[in-house]
Amino acid sequence: GAVVSQHPSWVICKSGTSVKIECRSLDFQATTMFWYRQFPKQSLMLMATSNEGSKATYEQGVEKDKFLINHASLTLSTLTVTSAHPEDSSFYICSARGTGGYTQYFGPGTRLTVL
């Protein structure tokens, strides 16, 4: 149980384009989803927290207009990187937490490369 999927697993795009990443909880309802960013050999940095049906809460220093998060259902959250630039190239990982729980279950990650 507690499986989280992400799509796509790898995406390459041109500078200036927008990219959407999906995060789905497959066998449980995720009241809260989290989006992280991870650079090579570094730890996970929380970007934002989203609760189903509410606006996302962004961490300090994360541009909310650049990283658009939507959590429209209890099983799906999306992260859209708008007008992507090479410095946005990174490994993006989502996690999901079910009702009443403290444990986060992570997706397999999406590697974004912006040319």
Partner 1 sequence: QKEVEQDPGPLSVPEGAIVSLNCTYSNSAFQYFMWYRQYSRKGPELLMYTYSSGNKEDGRFTAQVDKSSKYISLFIRDSQPSDSATYLCAMSVSGNTGKLIFGQGTTLQVKP
Which residues of this protein are in contact with partner 1, per CB under 8 A?
Answer: 4, 6, 32, 34, 41-44, 46, 49, 91, 93, 95, 97, 100, 102-109, 111
Do 80 and 18 touch, CB atoms closer than 8 A?
yes
Least CB distance to partner 1 at residue 16 (A): 26
| Nearer to partner 1 among residue 3 and residue 83 (C-beta) | 3
| Nearer to partner 1 among residue 42 and residue 83 (C-beta) | 42
Least CB distance to partner 1 at residue 35 (A): 12
41 contacts: CB under 8 Å, gap ≥ 6: none
